[in-house]
Amino acid sequence: MKSIAEEIIIKGISASPGICIGKAYRVDREGVEIVEKYKIQAKDLSNEVKRFKAAVKKSRDELLGILEKSPEELQHAHILETHLALLKDKMLYGRCIETIKQENINAEWALKTVISNLREVFQTMIDPYLKERSADVVQVADNIMRNLTGAKQVNIAAIKKRVILVAQDLSPAETCQINLERVKGFITDRGGKASHTGIIARSLEIPAVVGLKEATSTIRNDDLIIVDGNSGIVILRPTENTLLQYEERKIDYEEYKAVITRDSKAPAESLDGVRLSVMGNIELPEEVFALLNYGGDGIGLYRTEFQYFNRTDFPGEDELFDKYKDVVEVMHPKPVTIRTLDINGDKALTNQFNYEETNPALGLRAIRYCLKKPQVFKDQLRAILRAATFGNVRILFPMISTYFEIREATRMLDQAAESLEKNGLPYNRDIEIGAMIEVPSAVIMADVLAENVDFFSIGTNDLIQYSLAIDRGNEQVAHLFQPLDPAIIRMLKHVADVAREKEIKIFMCGEMAGTPHHVPLLLGIGMDELSMNPQSIPDIKRVIRSLNVADTRSFLKEVLTQTTAKSTFELIKATYGSILSEQMYSEGRKK
């Protein structure tokens, strides 16, 4: 926290972009934080359990009420459904009842103990997404606690003024009640980028900064604050000067957004008439609506592993089918590229308590895991083939490093189709099959792999990691993680050339595809499709529309003469700097 005269700048994590300026409205949960412990006599234990069950039931009824009133287009319903399920989860519900009975203590204290134990368990998890899912459990517990203590429910829907919400945390249920005419944005002490609350903020398209740690201890009701969701900061009691500066920035940002989103639904066609599909990457089904809003031509990467996290069992075929079907139906007729389970590496599952690898990135990850766990794989393959009867589905196999893997994966897909046939269940085997190119051996063997698939999708996040020997999650070597390294560019060109020669399509779904200054290069290489974080879609489409593909092809020849990432970047800047956004210069400063 930094203090400039009377104004205070609090740094947090940007959860949803945009800028808003307004009065703070604190969302306090009185009575929930301070809880007393007392003994319950043996004869009163069953009443105490009943009191706990009644509080759970009340929380359930409240959630059902909110679910009913939630506007359908927001589609947060399934997050609330997760909360409904958590209310009765063994870890929470079962353990609280056990603790009341075994320790002869009051329900509030039992709930507090169970939650603090669960929090510890979540903290030991390596996966950041999973860590953040602990927020869901805490939010559910807060609700039960409120009903146990009789504290008043925070009624966000009843707010009458135009305000910015300031809270320790906001549950998805609370966030769903936000009235966009009243609430300009929100900030919270807790939470991270992947928290559900952040996801909802992005789909509501209001600025939000989370993980501020000290917002509620510093900001009072009616304090004037600026929320800068673009850089993840909050300014309390801004000076006249800062206020003026931010009012301008707000106008600039809104104009910029209006310009780039105005045309985002139109196709991305270059000046010389080459059309590219600009697709979105999603992790959770509810991101589909934002993706469509940003003008995505389809889903280029659906990272399905998120449905396997935060639970002790594997999702069954029917559960997977329901989720895929929802996404496929909403997107129809646009394509949905379902990537099969890519777990382990930096995304270990919770239900493998004895799972430990010295070198997880080189371990039993993605397709390797699936081929070793045929039942888990088969359930997913059957679910995908069944969902494929509802729209335009492609299947994508991750981390292919040998020909054997793609052959085995395809064989298992055929087997899954045969078993569905036997069971008399509708399915569609006539779908495109793709291999992710993210390991150097797959680049070298591209000609052989191409004989077995309909498309390649280059995963640059891993291709850079495995080619340049840089752990993608290690901030010590982050400066060496360079998509513009000549070795990477040559690999991309090789794979694209092979794809053309073998007449299969060539896509990219790694982060490299969503960065405007990479676009001239990717067009020159001849990519058919780029897939990215949905919010980047409008800007990438804008850049494509201002380029001439024929020019980018000759530009590529020049790029291939460069020997370093830095000189490649300088070359892009010198040639295309004027049509690329400001971001390019800030990226450049980082180099």
List of residues contacting ligand PEP (CB under 6 A): 301, 303, 342, 438, 459-462, 509-510
**Residue with smaller CB distance to ligand PEP, 427 or 481:** 481
The option from Mg ion, ligand PEP, none interacting with 132 (CB < 5 to 8 A, set by class) reads none
CA angle 107, 111, 117 (to 5 degrees): 145
d(CA 444, CA 584): 31
Among candidate residues 83, 509, 517, 518, the one labeled active-site is 509
* Max CA distance (Å), the chain: 85
d(CA 213, CA 205): 23
The option from ligand PEP, Mg ion, none interacting with 460 (CB < 5 to 8 A, set by class) reads ligand PEP
**Residue with smaller CB distance to Mg ion, 200 or 436:** 436
Among candidate residues 196, 370, 517, 518, the one labeled active-site is 196
Least distance (Å) from ligand PEP to the CB of residue 436? Answer: 7
Least distance (Å) from ligand PEP to the CB of residue 516? Answer: 18
* Two tokens, residue 105: 């203590």
For the packed helices 128-149 and 107-123, what is the interaxial angle rounded to 10 degrees? 170
Least distance (Å) from ligand PEP to the CB of residue 345? Answer: 7
Q: Which helix (H) or strand (E) covers residue 236, if one does?
A: strand 233-236
Least distance (Å) from Mg ion to the CB of residue 518? Answer: 17
The option from ligand PEP, Mg ion, none interacting with 509 (CB < 5 to 8 A, set by class) reads ligand PEP
The option from ligand PEP, Mg ion, none interacting with 303 (CB < 5 to 8 A, set by class) reads ligand PEP
* Two tokens, residue 232: 């993840």
Q: Are 431 and 393 in contact (CB under 8 A)?
A: yes
Position 280, amino acid: G
d(CA 175, CA 143): 14
The full 3-state SS of 324-352, as one line of letters, equals HHHHHHHHCCCEEEEECCCCECCECCCCC
509 is catalytic: yes
d(CA 288, CA 326): 10
Cα–Cα distances in angstroms (integers) from residue 121 to residues 116, 129, 130, in the given order:
9, 14, 11
**Residue with smaller CB distance to ligand PEP, 52 or 369:** 369
370 is catalytic: no
**Residue with smaller CB distance to Mg ion, 439 or 489:** 439
Q: Name residues whose C-beta falls within 8 Å of residue 61's C-beta, 6 or more positions apart in sequence.
A: none
487-512 burial: b if 16+ Cβ within 10 Å, else e: ebbebbbbbbebbeebebbbbbbbbb
The option from ligand PEP, Mg ion, none interacting with 510 (CB < 5 to 8 A, set by class) reads ligand PEP
**Residue with smaller CB distance to ligand PEP, 483 or 526:** 483
Least distance (Å) from ligand PEP to the CB of residue 303? Answer: 5
Least distance (Å) from ligand PEP to the CB of residue 266? Answer: 26
d(CA 281, CA 291): 8
The option from Mg ion, ligand PEP, none interacting with 86 (CB < 5 to 8 A, set by class) reads none
Interface residue list for Mg ion (CB under 5 A): 438, 459, 462
Q: What is the DSSP letter of 189?
A: S
**Residue with smaller CB distance to Mg ion, 200 or 463:** 463
Residues belonging to the active site: 196, 509
